[in-house]
Structure 1
Amino acid sequence: MPHPRKRFSQALRRWLQVFASPVREEDDGGKAGIAIHTYRGYGSHSEIYLMGRVFRQSRVGRSMKQSFWRDILDVLRRITRRGMPGVNVAVRFGDSHTVVDTDADGYFRAHMMINEPLPPNKVWHKAELKVLFRNETVKARAAIYIPPLETDYVVVSDIDDTVMYTGVANKAKMMIRLFFEKADRRAVFPGVAAFYQALFDGGEDRKRPLLYVSRAPWTIYEMLVEFFRMHRIPEGPVLFLREWGLSWKSPLPRRAVHHKQMVIRQMMQLYKEQSFILIGDSGQKDPEVYTQMVREFPSRIKTIYIRSIDENPERDKSISELAREVHETGSTLVLAEDTVSMARHALSQGYISKEGFAAVQEEARKDEAIRG
């Protein structure tokens, strides 16, 4: 086993590289240091959504060779770069195109109708983006996820205390768990990776949309993507994060008013032909939020899985009352102690295969053994 000092050094270098990666990827921008940072887009065979941000970033040190000091410099460049408001962003997807403006923080959102048929089973596509600034053209590309036509379910999942243990909205905890903890101190709940993979496959390689919602800020997007990759959790097309709008004048994050409800409603409108599976935890308001969605879409939401993360009898009682209400609509709310319990119910409903369930059991057993 490497010496603790060496292990820490390796972890630090890895964190620096992940955190600085967007800056390096966007160094092909114009002379003024303008860069377009894109997040994974998503859509259907009739329309797509795309989000990103336009920055001005320093070009100091961009010609340096990769090294520890280059990583440090790139992190500083990322911290000091600023979003550019009121910039026109041209977006093209096949024969479809549109122009959108960036907001006060430099973010932009594009919603486009698709004008041409897409390959029925191709799930990842590319959009081309372009910004014209002071007679300079800056270009970028964005990945767009579009599920196959035969997809039956859409899975929407919370992250914090549902996929991973508490800390996703805390940058310090995220960095420690992602890069600095020992390998045997896993940050995800036992069996999660296999369960989400089984839901994604559906037993027939359906490639169901997996949409993750979090109250965390967009600034840790790359760390979350890396976290999912390291723990072999299907990344899904999108991470729906929040714009915290932090600044020296406003050091506190904006309130997340109905963030999760808005995301689910938007997905309901986008994937009109699909039913939904919602996954959350008992710690905050997921049971109440998801029950409200059942009230609004009683025939569309088939099952709600709630991970029980505390031993509060009153909380369990209130969730049981919500479960009865959900049941009366023809849907189901399952309050589960662990991932295997969720997977067992999913198997009974045909959401996952027998092989998928066996994989969840095996992974959960190994994870529990590692934790001791």
Structure 2
Amino acid sequence: MKRLSAPIRHGLDFVKRLARTFAKPMKRDYGHGGMMVHPYRGYGSPKQVFLMGRVFRQARLGRMIPRRGMLRDTADVVRRIARRGHADASVLVRLGDNSITVMTDRDGYFDVHLPLTNGLPTETSWHWAELYVTAENETPVRTTVEVFVPMPATDMLVISDIDDTVMFTGVADKLRMLYRLFVEKPHRRTAFPGAASLYQALHRGADEQAQRPIIYVSRGPWAIYEVLETFFQLNRIPVGPILFLREWGISLRHPWPRRAEDHKRDLIARMLALFEDVPCILIGDSGQHDPEVYTRIVEANPDRIEAIYIRRVDSKPDRERAIQQLREQIRHTRCELVLAPDSTLMAEHAHAKGYISSYGVDAVRRDIADSENNPA
């Protein structure tokens, strides 16, 4: 038998891995179909928590489809594409001694705002919420989801972009991102060198015990939630309370997705209000609108933003001059804007300011040295 060429083998490998990942959520129903619930990680403060998710109905798997293998994965991908949101389903959410019931919208999404009239345990940041979903002519579904509530001593909030800030190529170039994630070695080729260690250091803080909240934002739609979760797990990057993705719903009234910069600005304003007086670090890249958006956030909240870290993804002189002007624009505030060619400069600045430990900055240096000595 003639051996397949390397490009064809890589292409088949890409298709298999991609199918396996997109099929994975569908396997939870063991092929039985029916009503399913997919909650996204929740987040909140000691006063209130927020939780999103989707209820949908999916088709039953045919009897002739095997339990495993490429044919099963392909069938599950087709089922995933064909599934439809379940409108008007009732979602009861319990978190500790707090509860609320909401209804799904016409696309099956639910958005929970739960006031915490009864406090949660303060010795941990992660809590389990219970969901009980009912709908007419459907078997009720029970499931759980994690909710992140920072401990009372939290000293810092970190909000980071994902695309071209944590990973090399974001969802603006979806095919290349998926190829890198599922075909090339993801721990070497998807995340920027030192990024995992930097975010781990920021999460742990100067005393290595902080467990700070890290909130990530992406330009992509909710449909790639599982893909980004896989990316974070493979690259050992601390998982945030939720991956904030953009709503891409298209209608006659709103024929285009929300502008990415509006989405990010509104999100940050919402997080600053939620976490009240907690100082914040913003992380982004020079390729999009992050420096401009973050500068406006600083001007509106001059006493809340400690630092802006911008990863330089190109060397365009005009862009660097524009960012320098933004740095001068906020010089009168407590915030420093750092334009960094790699994770080392960010880590060194964070260590000098007391945001991370010496161990954290050394870990970033080691990871970058390893990536240079062992290129992909």
| Superposition TM-score, scaled by structure 1 size | 0.91
Distance in 2, matches of 1:274 and 1:151, equals: 7
Which residue identity lines up with residue 337 of structure 1 in the other structure? P
Deviations 1:11-32 (A, max 9, x none): 543332321122222x289x87
Residues 66-75 or 358-367, more deviating: 66-75
Indicate the residue corresponding to 1:238 in structure 2. Answer: 242
Residue by residue over 1:288-339, the C-alpha shift from the partner in whole angstroms, topping out at 9 and shown as x without a partner, is 1011111111111110011111112221112111112222122111111211
Pairwise CA RMSD: 2.6
2:86 corresponds in structure 1 to 84
Q: 1:184 to 1:216 in 2, by over 3 A?
A: closer
How far 1:217 moved relative to its partner? 0.9
One-letter identity of the residue aligned with 1:149: P
Change (3 A) 1:184 1:296: closer
Q: Displacement of 1:115 after TM fit?
A: 2.4
Q: What is the identity, as a one-letter code, of the residue corresponding to 2:210? A: R
Distance 1:184 1:304, change over 3 A: closer
Counterpart position of 1:144: 147
Structure-to-structure mapping, 1:222-371, within 5 angstroms = 222-245=226-249, 253-256=257-260, 258-371=262-375
State whether residues 158 and 215 of structure 2, in contact with CA within 8 Å, keep that contact through their aligned partners in structure 1. yes
Pair 1:96-2:98 in alignment: yes
Q: What is residue 111 of structure 2 aligned with on the other side?
A: 109
- Please say which of residues 82-91 and 145-154 is displaced more in the overlay: 82-91
Contact 1:305 1:334 in 2 (8 A): yes
Alpha-carbon distance in structure 1 between the residues aligned to 2:188 and 2:62: 37
Deviation at 1:107, TM superposition (A): 1.4
2:344–2:365 CA contact under 8 A, matched in 1: yes
Q: 2:285 touches 2:313 (CA, 8 Å); kept in 1?
A: yes
The verdict on how the C-alpha distance between 1:218 and 1:170 changes in structure 2, with shifts beyond 3 A counting, is farther
Q: Which runs of 5+ in 2 are unaligned?
A: none
SS at match of 1:371: coil
* Aligned equivalents of 1:342, 1:48: Cα separation in 2: 31
User: Partner letter of residue 44 of structure 1?
Assistant: S
Asked if the contact 2:186/2:235 (under 8 Å) is kept, the reply is no
Instruction: Check the 8 A contact 1:105/1:245 in 2, yes or no.
Output: no
Q: How many residues align?
A: 369
What amino acid sits opposite 2:331 in the alignment?
H
Question: Where in structure 1 are there 5+ consecutive unaligned residues?
Answer: none
Identity %: 48
Query: Partners of 2:19 and 2:324 in 1: how far apart?
Result: 45
Choose 343-352 or 110-119, whichever is displaced more.
Answer: 110-119
Q: Which residue of 2 aligns with 1:134?
A: 136
Amino acid at match of 1:113: P
SS at match of 2:331: helix
